[in-house]
Amino acid sequence: MKQSILKQLTGSVERCTFRADEPMSAHTTFRIGGSAALFCLPETPDALIALLRFCRGEGVRFMIIGKGSNLLFSDKGFDGAVISTAAMDRITLDGTRVCADCGAALSRVSAMAAEADLAGLEFAHGIPGSVGGAVFMNAGAYGGEMAHVVESARVLFGDRIEDVPAQELRFSYRYSALQESGGIVLSADFRLVPGKKEESLLLIRDMDARRREKQPLDRGSAGSFFRRPKDGFAGALIEEAGLKGVSVGGAQVSPKHAGFIVNNGNATCEDVLKLRDLVVRTVREKSGIELEMEVRLAGDL
């Protein structure tokens, strides 16, 4: 069936790369995950739209990912098509507006803005995600978030493309209305302010240095694993519960920052989920606070 679908896709969707049995550990920052039956890499919005139309018409299950930075992918992989937007990465500047395709890396968008003497996106430089995923999740760091800088997003709803203003995205903590509507971000417009390249680059370097000092960037992870609870911080609660450095298989609560679960080289999705359950249970017993995952599960569980 895979070869038949691959043949049809290759003949009907232009400007798209296809691979069968692609390990998702190669496409997520956790470096965990079984194989996708099909892996698709469209280069343009038209290719993405054609690919989605094909999948829906042929009954092929699909899911869309960006940089895979907020995903824990199943050991079982995905018996369908994983569509990566990584090749859709055009960035254009127009005055104080920056328009970036969904697959563009936030680090690159932030750096280009700084080089153009535009301020406001410095906080995003160290977030290891794409524009589409960042808008979808309202990604943020060091006091900044997408809600502060996104002017609008071009969103695909079925076969219909709409320009959605920021207020209709209803941003809140790690949330946008896209999580309910099912819309797919094609690009986003960022409204920035005039700045000075030297000051922006200095701020970026300072934030990057703080990340290197405090976060386990040398290990596979998906960033902060748990959502910030109303009372306190997940990392502090986990450390107070005596769980810093605790391991299950190849998964470990980072000894450097307890808010991170890291892959020590051979972790499986199952290891991470068992460690998650241990952390949630222990923190609940110690503090009465119920931690919730910020990382999204993907694939066939």
Catalytic residues: 174, 224, 294
Here the tokens at position 40 are 């698709």
> Is 116 within 8 Å of 93 (Cβ atoms)?
yes
Beta-sheet pairing, 97-101 with 184-191: antiparallel
CA–CA gap between residue 160 and residue 182 (Å, rounded): 12
Report the chain's terminal Cα–Cα distance, integer Å.
22
Ranges of beta strands (E only) in the chain are 16-23, 35-42, 62-65, 71-73, 78-84, 91-94, 97-101, 118-119, 140-141, 144-145, 150-157, 160-165, 184-191, 193-194, 220-224, 247-248, 251-253, 260-263, 296-298
Task: Write the DSSP string, 220-239.
Answer: EEEEE-BPPPSSS-HHHHHH
CA–CA gap between residue 121 and residue 197 (Å, rounded): 12
> Is 294 within 8 Å of 258 (Cβ atoms)?
no
Count of CB atoms situated within 10 Å of the CB of 99: 19
The angle subtended at Cα 106 by Cα 115 and Cα 263, nearest 5°, is: 135
CA–CA gap between residue 298 and residue 301 (Å, rounded): 8
Nearest to 83 by CA among 18, 135, 14: 18
